[in-house]
Amino acid sequence: MRVLLLYDYPPSPSGLSTQGDLLYKGLIELGIDARAVHVQSDLEKEWYYRWFKPDVVVGTGYWGHLPDLVIHPQKYGICAVPWLVADGYIANHQDLLNSLPLILVTSNWVKEMYVRDGVNADLIEVLPVGCDTDSFVPLSKDDPKVRAVRDSLGILPEQLMILTAGGDAASKGGQEVMKALAKINGEVPDWRYVCKVWPQPRTQVQNQADLELAGQLGIEEKLCFTTSITSRNFMPYLLAACDIYAGPSRLEGFGMIQVEACACEKPVIGIKAMGMLDTLIHNKTALLAEVGMQIVVSEVSIPDSSDPEKTVKIVLNPPRTVDYRADVEDIAAHLKNLMLNKDLRLSLGKAARKHVVEHFNYRLVAKRFLEIIEERLKIT
């Protein structure tokens, strides 16, 4: 089997790029003839189509990326299988999706979103994102690389470090975590809340709003926002430096960073919704907060297919849930429980790593991918 993978290649630290690159790595280790190319590099993709002659082209993205993931390889007669995430609402391309022989998605929740918005369920198979459990491993706080992370963040050895990481903190549930921490402040050991975010225009605006909220809550001195570009090499040490990973995301089609935190034997706080229902088990491998609010919209605006500079308004009937908020009281209770109970932190962490190794190791994901392709497309 010859497989061509389309993603942000060479890999950046982004989620979609990591998703594609770990599948690529797994296929290579299994002895599959696989190649990787940047998803938007039309010339290089065509070059591969002509000499490599892939049996299947697989690309990571969401429905808006289908021109690069599907339409381009189809122009050259190549079988294209997108591996998709969701962003709350699938606005268009339903006809194209329903014409495909196979669609891969990252979780059962993502499948539900595509089916809800008009895609044939029979075409969709769930393939989770892989985790490099050889790199994301439990490390001692005394490891010099881990200690250096805490020192760089100004975290004292006796302080509990709660971490949230993402493009911005709010989308990962950071505001809900801040409100929860303010509720229990004074009832738990000394703590610091670290939000590791990615430098981009929207993050600057969101950081300011988050810092203003921290000031209103009276916890600004315990909050550490760090906005910087980091490589995948650094992330295992950042996760190892924390005591609790708090990620009750507002929109999460899988939850890669939560799974990586689990692989590092960290107790994770998530939300009882979306992709985390596939990856985290409440009270066994993580603590999941109930949904406190659903953001529902009755209309959306999307780019006009005939003029990208214009938008078209679509009325949604029935209205769609496009965003979630975790219950703050639940988050507060889970945080307090973990912060006061070291044994619980350790037991959840150990169970979480075992679950990730057994279900989400990137080699297992690559094997599952091959099984799906062989079964559904009869390609061997």
Instruction: For residues 215 and 224, give the distance between their C-alpha atoms in angstroms, rounded to a whole number.
Output: 12
Same domain as 333, residue 262: yes
∠ CA 343-349-351, rounded to 5° = 105
Same domain as 200, residue 109: no
What are the Cα distances from residue 357, in Å, to 36, 130, 183, 362, 369? 25, 10, 35, 9, 17
Decide if 165 contacts 259 (C-beta within 8 A): no
The verdict on residue 306 lying in a domain is no
Which secondary structure element, helix H or strand E, spans residue 181, and what is its range? helix 174-184
Same domain as 204, residue 157: yes
Residue 130 is given by DSSP the state: P
pLDDT in tens, 240-293: 999 999 999 999 999 999 999 999 999 999 999 999 999 999 999 999 999 999
pTM: 0.94
Domain of 222: which CATH number?
3.40.50.2000
Q: What is the pLDDT of residue 199?
A: 85
183: left (phi over 0), alpha (psi -120 to 50) or beta: alpha
Both tokens of 272, joined, read: 């009882």
Q: Which runs of E-coded beta strand occur in 141-182? A: 160-166
Both tokens of 113, joined, read: 């979103």
The verdict on residue 10 lying in a domain is yes
Kindly report the number of other CB atoms within 10 A of residue 186's CB atom: 6
Q: What is the pLDDT of residue 282?
A: 98
Same domain as 175, residue 192: yes
Same domain as 371, residue 343: no
The verdict on residue 308 lying in a domain is no
Residue 203 is given by DSSP the state: H
Instruction: For residues 100 and 268, give the distance between their C-alpha atoms in angstroms, rounded to a whole number.
Output: 37
Which secondary structure element, helix H or strand E, spans residue 106, and what is its range? none
For 18, the domain range is 2-130+361-377
The verdict on residue 302 lying in a domain is no
The type of residue at 257 is: I
Instruction: For residues 249 and 174, give the distance between their C-alpha atoms in angstroms, rounded to a whole number.
Output: 8
The type of residue at 9 is: Y
pLDDT in tens, the chain (380 residues): 999 999 999 998 889 999 999 999 999 999 999 999 999 999 999 999 999 999 999 999 999 899 999 999 999 999 999 999 987 778 788 999 999 999 999 999 999 999 999 999 999 999 999 999 999 999 999 999 999 999 999 999 999 999 999 989 999 999 999 999 999 999 999 999 999 998 888 778 888 899 899 999 999 999 999 988 899 999 999 999 999 999 999 999 999 999 999 999 999 999 999 999 999 999 999 999 999 999 998 887 766 666 667 777 888 888 888 899 999 999 999 999 999 999 999 999 999 999 999 999 999 999 999 999 999 999 98
Same domain as 204, residue 110: no
Q: What is the pLDDT of residue 103?
A: 98
The verdict on residue 280 lying in a domain is yes
Both tokens of 366, joined, read: 């690559």
What are the Cα distances from residue 211, in Å, to 59, 174, 215? 37, 11, 6
The type of residue at 95 is: D
Same domain as 180, residue 282: yes
Same domain as 151, residue 119: no
The verdict on residue 310 lying in a domain is no
The verdict on residue 34 lying in a domain is yes
The verdict on residue 265 lying in a domain is yes
DSSP string for residues in 262-277: HHTT--EEEESSTTHH
Same domain as 149, residue 109: no
Same domain as 330, residue 232: yes
Both tokens of 355, joined, read: 């679950």
What are the Cα distances from residue 355, in Å, to 44, 122, 372? 39, 28, 22
Same domain as 93, residue 26: yes
Same domain as 81, residue 6: yes
Decide if 253 contacts 106 (C-beta within 8 A): yes
Instruction: Report the domain count for the chain.
Output: 2
The type of residue at 363 is: R
Instruction: For residues 119 and 84, give the distance between their C-alpha atoms in angstroms, rounded to a whole number.
Output: 13
